[in-house]
């Protein structure tokens, strides 16, 4: 069983399609990242954490652990922490594959 499959088992079915799409975007844009379950979230990284998929009741956040340091010309990243930033996604139509790939490439 893959890490994605393990994670999906913990989620309501309403999140499955969005999480699977995000996993696909991340693994295609940054194939060197490995996935793991950390803090009950699907997390991707190398020797350090790069991003995570975090589900909430009515949306999904794609978190970037060093997001505060990214070039974000579309200003989609939100958050006020020292380093962490995220993109709030409600549905499949919110996923901009190319822009997520652009953000990931800056981190890897």
CATH number at residue 65: 3.90.1150.200
Structural domain boundaries, residue 34: 3-107
Q: Count of domains in the chain?
A: 1
- Given this model, what pLDDT does residue 91 score? 94
Q: Give the SS3 label for residue 100.
A: helix
pLDDT per 10-residue tile (average), the chain, 108 residues: 94 95 97 96 96 96 97 96 96 96 95
**89 phi, psi to nearest 5 deg:** -125, 125
Distance CA 108, CA 94 (A): 23
- Given this model, what pLDDT does residue 93 score? 96
- Given this model, what pLDDT does residue 1 score? 86
Q: Give the SS3 label for residue 8.
A: helix
In sequence order, what are the residues at sequence separation of 6 or more whose Cβ sits closer than 8 angstroms to the Cβ of residue 99?
A: 74, 76
pTM: 0.95
């Amino acid at each position: 069983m893959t890490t994605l499959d393990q994670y999906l088992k913990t989620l309501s079915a309403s999140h499955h399609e969005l999480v699977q799409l995000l996993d696909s975007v991340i693994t295609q844009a940054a194939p060197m990242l490995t996935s793991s379950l950390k803090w009950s979230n699907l997390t991707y990284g190398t020797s350090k954490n790069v991003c995570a998929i975090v589900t909430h009741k009515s949306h999904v956040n794609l978190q970037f652990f060093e997001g505060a340091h990214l070039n974000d010309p579309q200003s989609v990243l939100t958050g006020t922490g020292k380093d962490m930033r995220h993109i709030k996604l409600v549905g499949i139509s919110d996923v901009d594959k190319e822009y997520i790939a652009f953000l990931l490439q800056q981190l890897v």
